[in-house]
């Protein structure tokens, strides 16, 4: 892996990874031509025909040789020996230096420049992936596809065609969520891509749900974990930034409203700890309360066309929390959903729910969210919206 020079100090393994990223970005695969020794050309020392790069540069730059002589690299000696193939060949006086030939040469030069630009962009993506702690080749490849795609459809197609080994496809939702949380301002591109991915491949729904739950636990880690860390002499984990909390709330809300994740995924949110509900619970941290408020605001700020899906979301929680919904209301799961139903209803009636929202009745305004909260609260209480 350490062998190989040139290429800006890249090893052969790094050059191979860079070529794979460029091929993924360009949605095509380039196959280098073998040279006379049976080795694959097109590397840092040989050109695409297998000739040394220094010779190729000299042929292109030398005025004595001429531009037309460059094509001799692709000429086999046996073709010169066969008389029947000589007619119309470019090296004959009547065919050499035609406009069509020089046009093809200019097109080839433009293609080389485009490939060099793509390699430079691919190297930049790899550096960004390392900066975001994408510490495996699978994660780096997924990151380059997600960030370097033209749109969500292009990214989805390339993600599904990645040659990932068994269980490595679980890294796709993890990388996707991490990219979303790292954005300075919320980017709905990641939400749409995650939705389409869950629709296309059903097993990604559970992986995405577990990834979201892991991030929710990081917002408000258990008190016992902090105490254990202090007892062992380690520093407590740093608090999650408000930017990540806001992005996670909108990402989670979007997946719930569009039914990419089931409504019961909300049971990971401890609204009881916020002071709502009949039974007491472990008090939530200020950042956890902020996440719950932003999450409810994002759900209730769904456009009017999605208001029916929002009602269906709370109807499912009401049905399963009361013991209905397909027989899943019994046991510990039923108790959790019943507590979620009660605490969620109280949270929807809280005066702090519309805190930080702009005034007005437009989508995302205080009046709009307050009206949606009243409808959802009525649904959870067993009434109509």
Q: Of 173-177, 223-227, 258-262, where does mean pLDDT reach its minimum?
A: 223-227
* pLDDT band for position 186 (cuts 50, 70, 90): very high
Q: What is the mean pLDDT of residues 224-251?
A: 73
How far apart, in Å, do the first and last CA atoms of the chain sit? 64
Phi/psi-derived region of residue 183, left when phi > 0, alpha when psi is between -120 and 50, beta in every other case: beta
Positive or negative torsion for Cα 16, 19, 25, 29 = negative
Tokens of 190: 């990641």
Instruction: For the chain, give the longest Cα–Cα distance.
Output: 97
Instruction: Flag whether pLDDT at 334 surpasses 90.
Output: no
Please give the Cα distance from 255 to 260 (Å, whole number): 5
Nearest to 318 by CA among 377, 253, 259, 260: 377
- pLDDT given for residue 256 in this prediction: 96
Give the pLDDT of residue 273. 63
Mean pLDDT over 334-353 rounds to 87
Phi, psi of 282, rounded to the nearest 5 degrees: -65, 125
**pLDDT(229) > 60:** no
Contact 288, 270 (CB under 8 A): yes
* 53, 47 contact by CB (below 8 A): yes
Could you report the per-residue pLDDT of 13-57, keeping only the tens digit for each?
788 788 888 888 888 776 654 444 444 444 556 665 566 777 767
pTM score over 0.85: no
pLDDT at 348: 92
- Paired with 34 in beta bridges are 40
How confident is residue 82, by pLDDT bands cut at 50, 70 and 90? low
User: What span, in angstroms and rounded, lies between the C-alpha atoms of 380 and 378?
Assistant: 5
CA-based R_g, the chain, Å: 30
- Of the candidate ranges 94-98, 238-242, 279-283, the one whose mean pLDDT is the lowest: 94-98
- b/e code 18-43 from CB counts within 10 Å (16+ = b): bbbbbebbeeeeeebeebeeeeebbb
Reply yes or no on whether the pLDDT at 73 is more than 70: no
Report the run of H or E that residue 353 belongs to, with start and end: none
| Mean pLDDT value of segment 350-370 | 90
* Confidence class for position 4, pLDDT limits 50, 70, 90: very low
**Is 70 exceeded by the pLDDT of residue 109?**
no
Confidence of residue 65 (pLDDT cuts 50, 70, 90): low
Query: Is the pLDDT at 171 greater than 60, yes or no?
Result: yes
Overall residue count recorded for the chain in this entry: 385
Whether the per-residue pLDDT at 227 is higher than 50: the answer is no
> How deeply is 363 buried, as exposed, middle or buried, from its count of CB atoms within 10 A (0-12, 13-18, 19+)?
exposed
Q: Which of 257, 139, 247 is nearest to 186 (CA)?
A: 247
Taking alpha carbons only, the member of 251, 247, 241, 136 closest to residue 192 is 251
Structural contact between residues 376 and 312, judged by C-beta atoms closer than 8 angstroms: no
Confidence at 277, pLDDT banded by 50, 70, 90: very low
5 vs 345, more confident: 345
- Sign of the alpha-carbon dihedral angle for 181, 186, 195, 21: negative
- Tens-digit pLDDT profile for residues 284-325: 788 999 999 999 999 999 999 999 999 999 999 999 887 655
Which pLDDT band, with edges at 50, 70 and 90, does 195 fall under?
very high
- pLDDT digits 0-9 by tens, 240-273: 999 999 999 999 999 999 999 999 999 988 886 6
Neighbouring-strand partners of residue 52:
46
């Amino acid at each position: 892996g350490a062998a190989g020079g040139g290429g800006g100090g890249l090893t052969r393994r790094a050059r191979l990874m860079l070529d794979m990223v460029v091929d993924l970005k360009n949605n095509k695969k380039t196959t280098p031509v073998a040279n006379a020794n049976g080795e694959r050309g097109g590397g840092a020392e040989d050109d695409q025909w297998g000739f040394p790069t220094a010779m190729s540069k000299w042929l292109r730059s030398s005025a004595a040789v001429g531009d037309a002589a460059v094509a001799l690299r692709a000429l086999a000696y046996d073709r010169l020996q066969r008389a029947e193939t000589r007619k119309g060949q470019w090296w004959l006086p009547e065919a050499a230096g035609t406009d069509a030939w020089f046009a093809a040469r200019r097109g080839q030069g433009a293609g080389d420049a485009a490939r060099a630009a793509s390699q430079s962009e691919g190297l930049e993506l790899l550096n960004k992936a390392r900066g975001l702690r994408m510490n495996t080749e699978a994660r780096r490849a997924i990151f380059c596809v997600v960030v370097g795609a033209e749109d969500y459809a292009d990214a989805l197609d390339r993600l599904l065609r990645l040659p990932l080994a068994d269980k490595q496809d679980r890294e796709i939702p993890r990388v996707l969520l991490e990219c979303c949380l790292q954005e300075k301002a919320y980017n709905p591109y990641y939400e749409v891509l995650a939705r389409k991915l869950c629709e296309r491949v059903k097993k990604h729904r559970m992986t995405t749900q577990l990834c979201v739950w892991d991030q929710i636990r990081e917002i408000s880690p258990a008190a016992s974990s902090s105490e254990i860390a202090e007892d062992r002499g380690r520093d407590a984990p740093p608090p999650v930034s408000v930017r990540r909390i806001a992005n996670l709330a909108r990402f989670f809300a979007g997946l719930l409203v569009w039914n990419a994740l089931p409504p019961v995924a909300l049971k990971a949110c401890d609204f009881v700890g916020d002071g709502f509900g009949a039974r007491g619970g472990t008090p939530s941290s200020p950042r956890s309360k902020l996440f719950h408020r932003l999450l409810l605001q994002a759900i209730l700020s769904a456009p009017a066309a999605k208001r029916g899906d929002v009602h269906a979301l709370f109807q499912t929680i009401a049905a399963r929390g009361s013991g209905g919904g397909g027989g899943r209301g019994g046991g510990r799961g039923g108790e959790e959903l019943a507590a979620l139903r009660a605490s969620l209803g109280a949270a929807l009636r809280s005066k702090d729910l519309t805190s930080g929202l702009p005034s007005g009745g437009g989508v995302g305004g205080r009046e709009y969210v307050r009206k949606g909260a009243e409808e959802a609260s009525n649904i959870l209480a067993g009434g109509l919206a």
